[in-house]
Amino acid sequence: MDKMKEKEIKIPENIIREILLRLPAISLFRFRCVCKDWYQIIVDSDFSVSHIQKSISALMIDFGIDKVGSYNLEERTKKARDLADSFRKQHKFKIDREDYASLQYSFLPDYHEDEEDTEDPWMD
C-alpha cells in the first residue's frame, strides 16, 4: 500500500475530486481531516453542488444507513439530524425535505431561486 508513497506518485487533484464525488456524505465529513488539500476540496461550495447533483435521485442524500443498523431509531434520527444540519450550515443549503423514517433528506441550494424541478424526485 505504501508503495504509492515510495514511488512518489502524485495523484492529480481532478482525480481526487472524481473519487470524492462518488463517496457518501458521511465519508466526506470524515475525510476532511485527511490533509489540507482534501479539506479545501470538500468544503468548496462548487464541490458540494456537484456532489449533490451526483448523488442518487439528484437531490437526495443517502446517509449510508446500512452502517447504522444497530442503532435505535432515536439515535439514528439524531445522527441524521446532526449530519443534515452540519451539511446545511457549511454549504449554504436549505433542507428541502426530511424523512426521519428512512433517514433521507433532500437539499436545495439556498441561492437557487428558480428551481426547475420542484417535484419530489424520490417519491415514486
Q: How far is CA 59 from the centre of its chain?
A: 10
20: contact with other proteins by CB under 8 A: yes
Among 49, 50, 62, 79, contact with other proteins (rule: CB under 8 A):
79
Q: Which is nearer to other proteins, 39 or 100 (by Cβ)? A: 39
Q: Report residue 121 as a C-alpha cell.
A: 424526485
**Piece of 3-11, 45-53, 99-107, 111-119 that binds other proteins (CB under 8 A):** 3-11
5: contact with other proteins by CB under 8 A: yes
108: contact with other proteins by CB under 8 A: no
By CB under 8 A, name the binding residues for other proteins: 1-5, 8-9, 11-12, 14-16, 18-24, 26-27, 29-36, 38-39, 64, 67-68, 70, 79, 82-83, 86
